[in-house]
């Protein structure tokens, strides 16, 4: 496993679920929340044994891949200098109740992942792990040989990064579907057919075509 350290920014339900899956798959996991690491350390130890509660800057420093699992409206708080040449998976979704007006976070005509890329210009952003609910992520993980294995879509502008993220998704227990450019991440956002999809590769391909 070449990329064996996974960082997660966000210690909510999605972040903890991804930490659990990554630990089960054999990854070293570092996770940060919105508060001091000591405030989440106990819950991380209980819910994702072996994962390390650290600051977001530390997550970026020590991780081979960083997953953003925080509220979308908070990504502006990330320090661009922490994410230089870091492979970042945007697993965030826009929710009015949490994020307020979309225009506060994402400019009109832009996908949420493109907005993250604009804020972190020297990071390598890939959209993935956002369209399936955390409960399905937890329950549907299966070995690669399992029939009817569920799939997760991946969008990005760099093939090597898409391939890296696809290998991670496979290790977590899902098939990975490459849907092309980062701008295609709009197909995975709330309000589109693939959002919420807990389906096989063939069915997911139809939903994103």
Q: What is the pLDDT of residues 79-121, one digit of tens each?
A: 999 999 999 999 999 988 888 888 888 988 899 999 999 999 9
Measured distance CA(181)–CA(159) in Å, rounded: 9
Dihedral over Cα of 207, 176, 164, 12: its sign: positive
Q: Give the model's confidence band at 2: pLDDT under 50 very low, under 70 low, under 90 confident, else very high.
A: low
Strand partners, 29: 6
Once rounded to an integer, what is the mean pLDDT over residues 41-51? 96
Strand partners, 90: 68, 127
Once rounded to an integer, what is the mean pLDDT over residues 145-173? 97
Measured distance CA(104)–CA(177) in Å, rounded: 30
Domain boundaries, given as residue ranges, for the chain: 5-207
Q: Which pLDDT score is estimated for 165? A: 98
Strand partners, 67: 8, 89
Q: To the nearest whole number, what is the mean pLDDT of the chain?
A: 95
- Phi first, then psi: what are they for 39, rounded to 5°? -75, -25
| CATH number for region 5-207 | 3.40.50.720
Q: pLDDT at residue 129 above 90?
A: yes
Query: Which has more confidence, 34 or 55?
Result: 55
Label each residue of 121-148 as H, E or C.
CCCEEEEECCCCCHHHHHHHCCCCCCCC
Q: Which pLDDT score is estimated for 104? A: 86
Q: Which pLDDT score is estimated for 95? A: 86
Closest CA to 13 of 79, 93, 116, 82: 93
Measured distance CA(116)–CA(53) in Å, rounded: 23
Asked whether 27 and 52 are in contact (CB, 8 A), the reply is no
Q: Which pLDDT score is estimated for 1? A: 45
Q: pLDDT at residue 59 above 80?
A: yes
Measured distance CA(101)–CA(73) in Å, rounded: 9
């Amino acid at each position: 496993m070449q990329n064996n350290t996974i960082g997660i920014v966000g210690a909510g339900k999605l972040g903890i679920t991804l930490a659990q899956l990554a630990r089960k798959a054999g990854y070293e996991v570092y996770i940060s929340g919105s508060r001091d690491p000591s405030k989440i350390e106990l819950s991380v130890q209980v819910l994702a044994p072996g994962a390390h509660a650290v600051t977001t800057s530390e997550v970026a420093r020590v991780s081979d891949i960083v997953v953003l699992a925080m509220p979308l409206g908070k990504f502006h708080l990330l320090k661009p200098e922490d994410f230089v040449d870091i492979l970042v998976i945007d697993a965030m979704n826009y929710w009015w109740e949490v994020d307020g007006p979309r225009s506060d976070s994402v400019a009109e005509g832009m996908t949420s992942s493109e907005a993250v890329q604009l804020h972190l210009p020297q990071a390598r952003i890939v959209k993935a792990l956002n369209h399936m609910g955390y409960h399905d992520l937890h329950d549907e993980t299966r070995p690669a040989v399992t029939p009817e294995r569920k799939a997760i879509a991946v969008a990005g502008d760099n093939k090597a990064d898409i391939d890296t993220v696809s290998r991670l998704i496979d290790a977590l227990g899902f098939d990975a579907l490459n849907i092309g450019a980062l701008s295609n991440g709009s197909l995975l956002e709330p309000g589109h057919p693939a959002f919420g999809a807990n389906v096989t590769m063939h069915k997911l391909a139809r939903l994103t075509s």
